[in-house]
Amino acid sequence: LMDIPWTALKPEILRAMVEEFITREGTDYGAREAAFDTKVEQVLRLLREGKAKIVFDSETESVDIREVR
């Protein structure tokens, strides 16, 4: 896996990536459902704060956003 700095992405690409991540089946945002734009902002905030990161898997040629542990 290769980390991709969110700052290296154009804003429209970053937003599209976050939106795709949010719409994946099984993504959980807690007990209450939040508005879509709110979810986007939550993920962007996690990336800015270093609590999440973007990773590229060269084997599957896919991108994911993961929590930093």
Q: pTM to 2 decimals?
A: 0.78
The structure tokens 């969110």 sit at 6
The two tokens of residue 46 are 């996690």
The C-alpha R_g of the chain, in whole angstroms, comes to: 12
Residues 6+ apart with CB under 8 A from 7: none
The two tokens of residue 48 are 């800015």
Mean pLDDT is lowest, of 28-32, 52-56, 59-63, for 28-32
What proportion of the chain, given as a percentage, has pLDDT over 70?
A: 86
pLDDT given for residue 17 in this prediction: 92
Of all helices (H) and strands (E), which one includes residue 30?
Answer: none
